[in-house]
């Protein structure tokens, strides 16, 4: 055999598995048809967070006078926003490439396919391996009647390559992708409209999270139509199932992603988005850690985060999942002094509790992604609320909202 492990796909699952196996002394070859880092680094997490940061700076500058800072400020240069995104992605990717190289993984930049359980084909060459790991990622999901053309109907990949912002856009879907792009584009002045098939925005979130986001959208002038979808497109005029007509400059289809998975047999290990489970980079990374290092993790407690202002983060049971044996606690972010200092008093910490333990945590707040992990640790390790109360939380912080919330139990 040429190598002990052959990995197809250099995204979070693929590169994590490769690095860990190589560090253990195994010979590893990794095939990547494009760039290391996968969807997350190149077309998802990292570029969108760069856009979001620029959008947040723009939003804050517009209200700088409220903080006693007078700026002669009129507009922004979107081409430089895009340049910043590209430089950020390149910098993070180069660091990853160096880490993979230094670990001892041999990387082949070519499209690969599986010939049999011990053979990978790439560039008309056969590579013999003892074990194959398929971590081929995912691609934007197309909807019938909304096929991508890269001009009027965009995928989440296409929208990253915009040279200028549209004056108006229809976003189909209100999951993480749709919500983050609604926030980015709205902050930069684009008129945003959202259609969602479900009864509420962000249908995978806790019902009260969804309702609060709907309220925030109304305040910000982001239009949305629930229980609705695109029925017909004629000359770029959109007719919704409800009868509403919209004339957006562009459509962004944010209906999720479709796994890319080679069909073979049980001898192939499938990790990451390819396995068709939770399509999050940290889920893929921990799958790879479990496979290569034997570190288990609880899939049901995989955290979800939607970035922007304010952040949205949750894990565990939602209100719509529980019965009367559970209780809920709601703590408003307005009660935290830090939130008023930061002009970020929107949101809440919501806990689902039973038998002195936390089974669900749902947060809308600045720094929600950080706050969640203290609660996640308590949930996974079954640390009681009484023990959590013994922690001295720093003041003023957002995290002290955890203490204030559990004191209501």
Q: Is the residue at 371 inside a domain? A: yes
pLDDT digits (tens, 9 = 90+) for 93-140: 999 999 999 999 999 999 999 999 999 999 999 999 999 999 999 999
**Whether residues 116 and 28 fall in one domain:** yes
Say whether both 78 and 214 belong to one domain.
Answer: no
Q: What is the tally of structural domains in the chain?
A: 3
Q: Provide the pLDDT for residue 58.
A: 92
Instruction: Look at residue 301 and tell me if it is in a domain.
Output: no
Structural domain containing residue 159? 142-250
Q: How confident is the model at residue 266 (pLDDT cuts 50, 70, 90)?
A: confident
Find the distance separating the first CA and the last CA of the chain, reported in whole Å: 60
pLDDT-derived band at 64, boundaries 50, 70, 90 = confident
pLDDT digit string, tens, across residues 213-253: 999 999 999 999 999 999 999 999 999 999 999 999 999 99
Q: Are residues 14 and 127 in the same domain?
A: yes
Domain of 281, CATH number, reads: 3.50.50.60
Same structural domain, 189 and 265:
no
125 and 149 inside one domain: no
DSSP state of 143: B
405, containing H or E segment: helix 400-406
pLDDT in tens, 360-379: 999 999 999 999 999 999 99
State the CB neighbour count (10 A cutoff) for residue 359: 19
Ranges of H-type helices in 115-241 = 176-187, 207-220
Q: Answer whether residue 73 shows pLDDT above 80.
A: no
pLDDT given at position 17: 98
Q: What local confidence, expressed as pLDDT, does residue 374 receive? A: 96
Report the C-alpha gap between 310 and 349 in whole angstroms: 12
Q: What is the pLDDT of residues 299-334, one digit of tens each?
A: 999 999 999 999 999 999 999 999 999 999 999 999
Q: Is the pLDDT of residue 65 over 90?
A: no
Residue 76: C-alpha distances to residues 192, 254, 277 (Å)? 19, 26, 39
């Amino acid at each position: 055999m040429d190598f002990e492990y052959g990995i197809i796909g250099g995204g979070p699952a693929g590169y994590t598995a490769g690095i860990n196996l190589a560090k253990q002394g195994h010979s590893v070859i990794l095939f990547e048809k494009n760039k290391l880092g996968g969807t997350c680094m190149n077309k998802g997490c990292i570029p969108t967070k760069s856009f979001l940061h620029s959008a947040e700076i723009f939003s804050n500058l517009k209200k700088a006078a409220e903080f006693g800072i007078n700026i002669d400020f009129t507009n922004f240069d979107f081409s430089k926003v895009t340049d910043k995104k590209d430089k950020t992605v390149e910098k993070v990717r180069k660091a990853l490439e160096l880490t993979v190289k230094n670990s001892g993984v041999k990387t082949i930049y070519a499209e690969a396919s599986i010939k049999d359980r011990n053979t990978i084909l790439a560039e008309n060459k056969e590579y013999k391996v003892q074990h194959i790991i398929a971590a081929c990622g995912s691609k934007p999901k197309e909807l019938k009647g909304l096929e991508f053309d890269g001009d009027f109907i965009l995928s989440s990949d296409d929208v990253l390559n915009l040279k200028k912002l549209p004056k108006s856009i229809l976003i189909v879907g209100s999951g993480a992708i749709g919500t983050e792009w609604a926030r980015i584009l709205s902050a930069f002045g684009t008129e945003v409209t959202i259609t969602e098939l479900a009864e509420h925005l962000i249908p995978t979130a806790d019902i009260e999270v969804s309702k609060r986001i709907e309220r925030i959208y109304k305040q910000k002038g982001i239009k949305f139509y629930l229980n609705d979808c695109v029925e017909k497109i004629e000359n770029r005029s959109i007719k919704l199932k409800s009868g509403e007509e919209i004339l957006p400059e562009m459509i962004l289809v944010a209906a999720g992603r479709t796994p890319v998975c080679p069909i073979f047999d049980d001898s192939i290990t499938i990790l990451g988005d390819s396995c068709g489970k939770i399509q999050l980079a940290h889920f893929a990374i921990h799958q790879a850690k479990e496979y290569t290092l034997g570190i288990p993790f609880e899939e049901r407690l995989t955290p979800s985060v939607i970035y922007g202002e304010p952040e949205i983060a949750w894990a565990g049971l939602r209100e719509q999942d529980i019965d009367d044996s559970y209780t809920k606690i709601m703590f408003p972010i307005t009660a935290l002094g830090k939130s008023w200092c930061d002009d970020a008093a929107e949101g809440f910490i919501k806990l689902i509790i039973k038998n002195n333990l936390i089974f669900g945590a749902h947060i809308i707040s600045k720094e929600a992604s950080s706050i969640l992990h203290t609660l996640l640790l308590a949930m996974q390790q079954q640390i009681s609320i009484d023990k959590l109360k013994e922690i001295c939380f720093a003041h003023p912080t957002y995290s002290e909202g955890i203490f204030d919330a559990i004191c209501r139990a």
